[in-house]
Chains A and B, each alone.
Chain A
Amino acid sequence: MTRHAATAAPRRALAWLRWYVTEFTGENAYARHVAELRHADPDAEVPSRRAFERRRVEARYGDPRDGGGLGCC
């Protein structure tokens, strides 16, 4: 067995974990948003990361009346 094959499974697991963490935390929300904008129109204006993350926090936490944030007991 080559060295490459021996490390393939752990490397795949690590890549999966990395993917899961970035998805779970929402780290790639910005990249996805930019990709979607670019897909619709290659010359679209994209917001800066700072502006996008502010909007995202506001959308997720701004108005908690729908129960987000206190579902746990």
Chain B
Amino acid sequence: MRTTPLRQRPRAGSIAIWTVVAAVGALGWSMLALARGEEVSAAWMVAAALGTYAIGYRFYSKFIARRVLRVDGTRATPAERMADGLDYHATDRRVLLGHHFAGISGAGPLVGPVLAAQMGYLPGTIWIIVGVIFAGAVQDMVVLFFSTRRDGKSLGQIAREEIGLVGGVAAVLAIFSIMIIILAVLALIVVNALAESPWGTFSVGLTIPIALFMGVYLRYLRPGRIAEVTVIGVALLLLAIVSGRWVANSGLAEAFTLSPGSLVGWLVIYGFAASVAPVWLLLVPRDYLSTFMKVGTIGLLALAIVVTLPTLRMEAVTDFASNGDGPVFAGSLFPFVFITIACGALSGFHSLISSGTTPKMIQKETQVRTIGYGAMLMESSVAVMAITAACVLDPGTYFAMNAPPAVIGDTLQAASETITSWGFSVTPDQLAAAAASVEEESLLSRTGGAPTLALGLAAIFADFLGGDGMTSFWYHFAIMFEALFILTAIDAGTRVGRFILQDALASLHPRLGRFRETNWLPGVWISSAIVVSLWGYLLWVGVHDPLGGINTLYPIFGISNQLLGAVALAVCTVLLVKSGRLKHVWVTLLPLTWVSVITLTASWQKVFSGDPAVGFLARRDLYQDGIDAGQLLTGARDMDDMRTIVSTATLDAALSAVLALLVLVVFADALRVCVKAVRRPGSVTLAEAPYVESRIVAPAGLIATKEERAELAAAGLGAGGGIPRQADGERAGTAEARE
């Protein structure tokens, strides 16, 4: 092994550069924090984010890689040891970074920050940036490292092997319930974005035949021509957006104007069909389409923000941060900002990609820093863009779109009066003009974050490309972009849930053993139906409960996602202790403690708070008393509404409590294992794969250092690296290798 001295004397040039980076970041933060009573440019947002990311990546992630994980460049990864050209395949780090980023990014980092903007731009931005440096990126990187050392095993498997059966089963149960909640919330976001919008419904509906066409094309016409079919698919997609406008202005409009209730029905049917259909027909082509749209739109948005540098019109910190009466979600800044912005700062779901998929493709252990930490910094920057897009809007319009009808009423006049009384002046004419600019009937109470983000995106994009005339196109482009990958998450998620459920049913009783066969049709249909009805029920409740919807379900979603993050961090902490890294255990213990405090506090408040806007039990009692006294309370139009509110409040309370208890079981088991490992280090058994020497030569970072370039040249390899002196003409001879 070529040893690099751990402490090198830093060069003067490097000190100067990093001092400037730190100064730019600090300037950005002070402008964001100290600007009062005037509008702030998004340039300061960009400066604060990029400066802090650079410092965090350069110093903290390097410390974790070298001192804490002690990544070993001489140790072969699963991709090298078990190469089969399919699952296990050593992939160029720059390509893998793209894959991993496409895998972890989704609707979460776009929606959460939009909702959190009700407390102003500052609290959300601080948590997104500080959270990712110390929690989210650390989790992704450490999970990736430990899974790479374990043949790419999944988080659930690692938990079972390293913690034990009880903790492992609790972790799997928690993963399953969290997934059901996430699917329901994602579906609710789509319902709120498409309800009563013929343009949106038509274009998003067209994505299904487009995907079917792509599936058949790839299967029978031209197998494997993925880039080609994706280009065709994206062209059809853009056509679908444009044609949505013609449909909305034609006699067909009525057929595509769907109520929230019927959209729920369609989504449930879609989820079921996608789960039982062969993957090549729908899931695979959708995955290609949404990956392309995701990466393309995010790139375009980053460019548009940097070029136009829009002005933030939201206050830095609104009164809702302290009084907890916000209309978007109830509860005060602590703990609710931290659970509303889940992905972007810390997302438990990333641990499922960091374990399982990516470790089977990574060339070198030394690359976990670039891939794990780096991709999460990119995800965090997406969240910063989302909060920027929400804060670019006029605050009055923002609140009109995100407050439920029970709060602002359902007329422009009532909404304008209520919102002006909060101190954000907005006239009915302004609200009508905003809806007309994107050719929608109304923008009142379009909760869920997606429409707000779309409006903000449309404003930024129209400024950048095409002017005001393009605003409505960009709005529907953004709606399509979000709906597309939410639907992809729904079909993939329903399928994952179906597989987990099939496993669980099979292990309940020997007579149910056939459920394990994933191609036994009755098993497939029954388990798909169960999964779909579970999230479908939550979705139906979210639509029909007058107090339900995003402001009730989103906090449960945020709590569950962060609880999964806590499970992943607990597993990492156990592994650090068991593998003799006790000295550095604070690296995961610190974020674990923080995320446990916020999620358990939030769970506690959601269940037991005396404020009926926050606590489910208090809400249930209040409305039950109302039923007993025979009187209608806020939000309810009749006694049926009152009964729905009571039963869903009970369900939500039970759900929050069960999730928190499951995670406490995982914690208790993890603590037991840690204490045992510290007391009797001799008793520790690690399920780590044995050491095999690596033959691959590849740089650790995106850009090879001077030493790495010399090493590559000596081995006769291109910038992508590979195994030296293997007659691997294909890989070494590609265009990029000649750089």
Chain A partners chain B: yes
Is the CB–CB distance between B349 and A26 below 8 Å?
Answer: no
The verdict on A72 contacting B94 (CB below 8 Å), with A15-B736, A21-B227, A53-B223 known, is no
Return A22 CB to nearest CB of chain B, in Å: 7
Q: Are B223 and A70 in contact (CB under 8 A)?
A: no
B729: Cβ under 8 A from any A Cβ = yes
Known: A19-B735, A25-B226. 4 other contacts (CB 8 A): A29-B89, A50-B223, A53-B224, A68-B353
CA distance A20 to B735 in the complex (A): 10
Which A residue sits closest to B349, measured CB to CB? Answer: A73
The 8 Å CB contact of A22, one of B108, B227, B492, B561, is B227
Minimal beta-carbon separation of A58 from chain B (angstroms):
8
Least CB distance, B73 to chain A, in whole angstroms: 22
Which residues of A pack against B, CB within 8 Å? 12, 15-16, 18-33, 35-36, 39, 49-50, 52-73
Do residues B357 and A66 form an inter-chain contact, with CB atoms below 8 A? Answer: yes
Q: Which single member of A24, A50, A62, A71 contacts B103 (CB below 8 Å)?
A: A71
Q: How near does chain A come to B111, taking the closest CB pair, in angstroms?
A: 9
Contact assessment for B86 and A61 in the assembled complex, using a CB-CB cutoff below 8 Å: no
Whether the pair A64, B224 counts as a contact (CB closer than 8 A) is no
Give chain A residues whose Cβ lies under 8 Å from the Cβ of B223: 49-50, 53-54
- B728: which A residues are within 8 A, CB to CB? 35, 39
B600 at the interface (CB under 8 A from A): no
CB-defined contacts of B85 to chain A, threshold 8 Å: 29, 32-33, 36
Asked if A25 contacts B288 (CB within 8 A), the reply is: yes
User: What is the size category of the interface that chain B forms with chain A?
Assistant: 35 or more
Query: In the complex the two chains form, what is the Cα distance from A18 to B227 in whole Å?
Result: 10
B342 and A73 contact, CB distance less than 8 A: yes
Contact A57 B280 (CB under 8 A): yes
B225 within 8 A of partner (CB):
yes
Identify which of A15, A20, A36, A52 contacts B95 (C-beta below 8 A): A20
In the complex, whether B154 has a CB less than 8 A from a CB of chain A is: yes
* Chain A residues whose C-beta falls within 8 Å of the C-beta of B105 in the assembled complex: 72
Contact A65 B103 (CB under 8 A): no
Contact yes or no, A24 B493, CB < 8 A: no
Given the complex, which residues of B lie within 8 Å of A57, measured CB to CB? 279-280, 284
A70 CB to nearest chain B CB (Å)? 5
Expressed in whole angstroms, the minimum distance between the Cβ of B457 and any Cβ of chain A is 19
Whether the Cβ atoms of B350 and A66 lie closer than 8 Å is no
- Alpha-carbon distance A57/B229, docked complex (angstroms): 15
How far is B227's CA from A58's CA once the two chains are assembled, in angstroms? 19
Q: State whether A20 touches B94 (Cβ < 8 A).
A: yes
Residues of A within 8 A of B280 (CB): 54, 57, 61
> Is B77 among interface residues, defined by CB-CB distance under 8 A?
no
A-B contact list, 16 entries, CB within 8 Å: A24-B99, A27-B226, A32-B85, A39-B726, A57-B280, A58-B279, A65-B499, A67-B155, A69-B287, A69-B492, A69-B496, A70-B179, A71-B350, A72-B349, A73-B108, A73-B489
A33, B106: Cα distance in complex, Å: 31
- Which 10 pairs between the two chains have the least Cβ-Cβ distance? A72-B106, A71-B353, A67-B352, A66-B356, A73-B108, A69-B492, A15-B735, A25-B226, A59-B86, A53-B223
Nearest chain A residue, comparing its CB with the CB of B140? A71
Q: A64-B496, A65-B499 are in contact. Are A35 and B561 (CB under 8 A)?
A: no
Whether the Cβ atoms of B357 and A68 lie closer than 8 Å is: yes
Interface residues as binary, B225-243 with A (CB distance below 8 Å gives 1, 0 otherwise): 1110010000000000000
The CA-CA distance from A7 to B675 in the complex, in Å, is 64
Known pairs A16-B739, A59-B86, A72-B106; A49 contacts B224 (CB<8 A): yes
* Chain B nearest CB, measured from A56 CB (Å): 6
Q: Give CA–CA (A64, B342) in the complex, Å.
A: 23
Give the most central of A12, A19, A65: most B CB within 10 Å: A65
- Specify which chain B residues have a CB less than 8 angstroms from the CB of A59 in the assembled complex: 86-87
Q: Which of A33, A60, A67 has the most chain B CB within a 10 Å cutoff?
A: A67
Q: Which residues of B contact A16 (CB under 8 A)?
A: 735-736, 739
A8 to B94, CA, bound (A): 23
Let me know if A72 and B500 touch, CB within 8 A: no
Which chain B positions have C-beta within 8 A of A25?
226-227, 230, 288
B259 contacts A by Cβ under 8 Å: no
- Cβ B492 vs Cβ A70 within 8 A: yes
Give chain A residues whose Cβ lies under 8 Å from the Cβ of B357: 66-68, 71
A73 and B353: CB pair below 8 A? no
List the A side residues contacting B91 at CB < 8 Å: 23
Residue of B nearest to A59 (CB): B86
Residue of A nearest to B152 (CB): A66
A26→B353 CA distance, assembly (Å): 18
**B273 → A minimal CB distance (Å):** 16
Name the contact of B352 in the complex, choosing from A18, A20, A71 (C-beta under 8 A): A71
Please determine whether B503 and A65 come into contact, CB atoms closer than 8 angstroms: yes
Return the CB mask of B275-308 against A: 1 if under 8 Å, else 0.
Answer: 0000110011001100000000000000000000
Give the distance to chain A from B107, nearest Cβ to Cβ, in Å: 7
Evaluate contact between B87 and A64: CB separation under 8 angstroms: no
CB of B493 within 8 A of CB of A70, answer yes
CA distance A48 to B152 in the complex (A): 29
Partner of B356, one of A27, A68, A72: A68
Chain B residues, Cβ within 8 Å of A50: 223
Residues in B with CB closer than 8 Å to A22 are 227
With CB as the reference atom, state the residue of chain B lying closest to A61: B279
Inter-chain contacts of B352 with A (CB < 8 A)? 66-67, 70-71
Interface pair B496/A70, CB less than 8 Å apart: yes
Determine which residue in A15, A26, A50 has the highest number of CB atoms from chain B within 10 A of its CB, and name it. A26
The answer for the CA separation of A54 and B357 in the assembled complex, in Å, is: 19
| Residue from the list A12, A33, A60 in contact with B87, Cβ < 8 A | A60
B95 touches A64 (CB 8 A): no
Complex Cα spacing A62 to B349, Å: 20
Interface residue B705 (Cβ < 8 Å from any Cβ of A)? no
Known: A19-B736, A25-B288. A72 touches B86 (CB 8 A): no
Q: Are B284 and A67 closer than 8 Å at their CB atoms?
A: no
A-side contacts of B353, CB under 8 Å: 67-68, 71-72
Q: How far is the CB of A54 from chain B (nearest CB, A)?
A: 8
Quick check: B224 and A30 within 8 Å, CB to CB?
yes
**Among candidates B152, B343, B349, B503, residue contacting A70 with C-beta atoms closer than 8 Å:** B349
Contact status A67-B735, CB under 8 Å:
no
Alpha-carbon gap, A54 to B730, bound state (A): 22
Q: Which of A18, A28, A71 contacts B349 (CB 8 A)?
A: A71
Roughly how many angstroms separate A53 CA and B224 CA in the complex, as a whole number? 6
Which residues from B are CB-within-8-Å of A65?
154, 496, 499-500, 503
Name B564's closest neighbour in chain A (CB-CB): A73
Q: Which of B230, B347, B729, B734 contacts A73 (CB 8 A)?
A: B347
Does B518 belong to the interface (CB within 8 Å)?
yes
Contact status B108-A72, CB under 8 Å: yes
Contacts A27-B226, A63-B518, A67-B155 known; A73 to B730 CB distance under 8 Å? no
